[in-house]
Chains A and B, each alone.
Chain A
Amino acid sequence: MGKRFELLYIIAAITGFIILFFNVFPILNTFYWTDLDTIKETIVDKEVLASIWLSVKCASITTVIAFFLGIPLAYYLARHEFKFKNLIESLVDIPMVIPHTVAGICLLTVLSPRSPIGHFLDKNNIETLGTEIGIVIAMLFVSMPLLVDSAKDAFKWVPTRMENVSRSLGATQMQTFLGVTFILSWRGILSGMIVTWARAISEFGAVIILAYHPMIAPTLIYERFTTYGMKYAVPSNIILIAISIIIFIILRLVSLGGKEKHDTH
């Protein structure tokens, strides 16, 4: 019997191809704009390496901070219904709808020495503008909602009744959270952390407002593009793409590895 072709699947195949082409082709096409020698030269360019390292470092710090700040709130939102819950959820998600340069300017108004918070930080010798702290703040602002939302969804998958059973057997709320809820939501939270990290490392708009220097990779690429043109921007571009994809794949494999291990039992 021949295979039947359903119209919806044909449409899905065509649109799927368009999406994949749209995502992958521009990335691959970058390689045609340079040559191996220039890439080799760029790999040992200390400025490029420093900016990539800074990007990776700041995105990782951002993810860790987002984790510790976001998990308790995500858990509370997953477990409770209360007045104005929708409002709070919307406030958490606000950074996702604000253009990133606008977000950067909003943060600047808070961190500027003319604002109370900025003044307080300044007085205590905590520099934020033009420092790694500023970069992390900008990254955190735009990527935090992703972690909160992913963790919230992950917690919702663990039945409240399972927690009830644990409490009735003598575990405190914290012991139940750590021994049952968190372990069972870990995969979802890890996916959220990967997305948070990816969002943070790709941030540019908010970061350049708070910290043009020290330069994270996207800022350096932008600077080389505007100053020297495509020829000098593309090699750093390729290295950043390669590093991002490698880290992304490693993290995905880690999270999928956990899933397979869990499913095969």
Chain B
Amino acid sequence: MIHIKNLDIKLGEFRIRNVELKVKKGEFLVLLGPTAAGKSVIIEAIAGLVPIQSGKIMLNNRDITQLKPEHRNISICYQDYNLFPHMNVRNNICYGLRFKKDRNNPQYKKNFKAMVELLKLGDILDRLPLNLSGGEQQRVSLARGLIGNPDVLLLDEPLSALDPNIKTSIQEELKNIHQALHTTIIMVTHDFIEANYLAQRVAIVHEGEIIQQGYLEDIFQKPKSVFAARFIGVKNIFWVKNPEELSFFGLKEPAYIGIRPENIYVSHQPVNTDYQFEGKVGYVQNNQIYMEIECRNSTRNYLSYLTINRFFELNLKKDMPIYFGFNKEYLIHINK
């Protein structure tokens, strides 16, 4: 339903190049990429908020490239909420309705009630934004964006300004909203974990270009580039070129391979995996929900993530001899 064709944008020195993107009706697409990759510029272009150099934006088979933002029926929510500070929560939520031709449509009253219920805003309707927590502000911002039945809801890093507990609950609410309303959502984030939780499809943005897009599982299993692989959490990426290693990994020509750290099995006993190594523990780092272990082998160092339980079970210490390995299905072949 949204089709972006060959989009080019130039903002000072920064450029967005040749963006091709299709988003189906009711889909949750995540634009994933590092800071300053151009993700926000892409969604602002969809909303009509930045001038584009060339390309087309089609919405429901209608060319909206030249339409002003107010005529697109695409709403945007930012990470810093941007609630109108001079209006209470109720007026913030209903702000957009005053500009609608069918503002008296009873459907909007129903939407208001549904939003208030879905996002638990009943107790704060008369409060000003100044007196709301970050989580409450983001809920109001979402309700404000959704009340007018937008064709597309654009979310620019909606979770990144929130503290971890609130982030989890808003993330959950976003998922609920999407399931309940089937609104088409395009969300921008730099956090793969958020994308993993929310997205049906992902587009990876790097230096102003979409370098890969597809269903989450596909991107997760088959990242097409070293950058994409790194960005989705493949920590072990190696350039394999010597004949011994090529034959070990079953490769015909030099190539990049990748292995997710959580797929590397570590033990005190020889392991029963397709690829097996003998080595010793490099460093150990506690990452609060998992342990990061460097497994040193005579040829390469691999990074492995162990659960805290497994780590204590093995009682690993620096320089301790270990066996480690992984199965064939976890070996990722990366094109470039």
Q: How far is the CB of A70 from chain B (nearest CB, A)?
A: 23
Distance, CA A167 to CA B48, complexed state (A):
9
Binding stretch for chain B, among A23-31, A84-92, A169-177, A226-234 = A169-177
Cβ of A168 < 8 Å from any Cβ of B?
A: yes
Question: Using an 8 Å CB-CB cutoff, how does the interface string of B86-118 with A read, 1 for contact, 0 for none?
Answer: 100000000110011000000000000000000
Q: Which DSSP category, helix, strand, loop or mixed, fits chain B's interface? A: mixed
Q: Specify which of B49, B68, B82, B145 lies most central, judged by the most chain A CB atoms within 10 Å of its CB.
A: B82
Contacts of B128 in A (CB 8 A): 265
Contacts of B144 in A (CB 8 A): 165, 169
Distance, CA A180 to CA B92, complexed state (A):
11
Distance, CA A166 to CA B95, complexed state (A):
8
Identify B47's interface contact among A159, A168, A173, A175, CB under 8 A.
Answer: A168
Cβ of A184 < 8 Å from any Cβ of B?
A: yes
Check A168 against B49 for contact (C-beta < 8 Å).
Answer: yes
The residue of chain B having its C-beta at the shortest distance from the C-beta of A263 within the complex is: B130
Check B99 against A162 for contact (C-beta < 8 Å).
Answer: no
Cβ of B84 < 8 Å from any Cβ of A?
A: yes
Q: How far is the CB of B247 from chain A (nearest CB, A)?
A: 55
Check B49 against A175 for contact (C-beta < 8 Å).
Answer: no
Check B80 against A170 for contact (C-beta < 8 Å).
Answer: no
Distance, CA A96 to CA B311, complexed state (A):
72
Distance, CA A137 to CA B85, complexed state (A):
38
Distance, CA A199 to CA B47, complexed state (A):
44
Check B69 against A159 for contact (C-beta < 8 Å).
Answer: no
Check A171 against B86 for contact (C-beta < 8 Å).
Answer: no
A170-B96 contact in complex given A159-B82, A161-B78, A161-B80, C-beta closer than 8 Å: yes
Check B82 against A165 for contact (C-beta < 8 Å).
Answer: yes
Cβ of B200 < 8 Å from any Cβ of A?
A: no
Q: How far is the CB of A205 from chain B (nearest CB, A)?
A: 41
Check A170 against B76 for contact (C-beta < 8 Å).
Answer: no
13 contacts between A and B (CB under 8 A): A161-B78, A161-B80, A162-B82, A164-B44, A165-B78, A165-B145, A166-B95, A167-B47, A169-B95, A169-B99, A169-B145, A265-B128, A265-B130
Q: Which residues of B contact A (CB under 8 A)?
A: 44, 47-49, 68-70, 72-78, 80, 82, 84-86, 95-96, 99-100, 128, 130-131, 141, 144-145, 148, 154
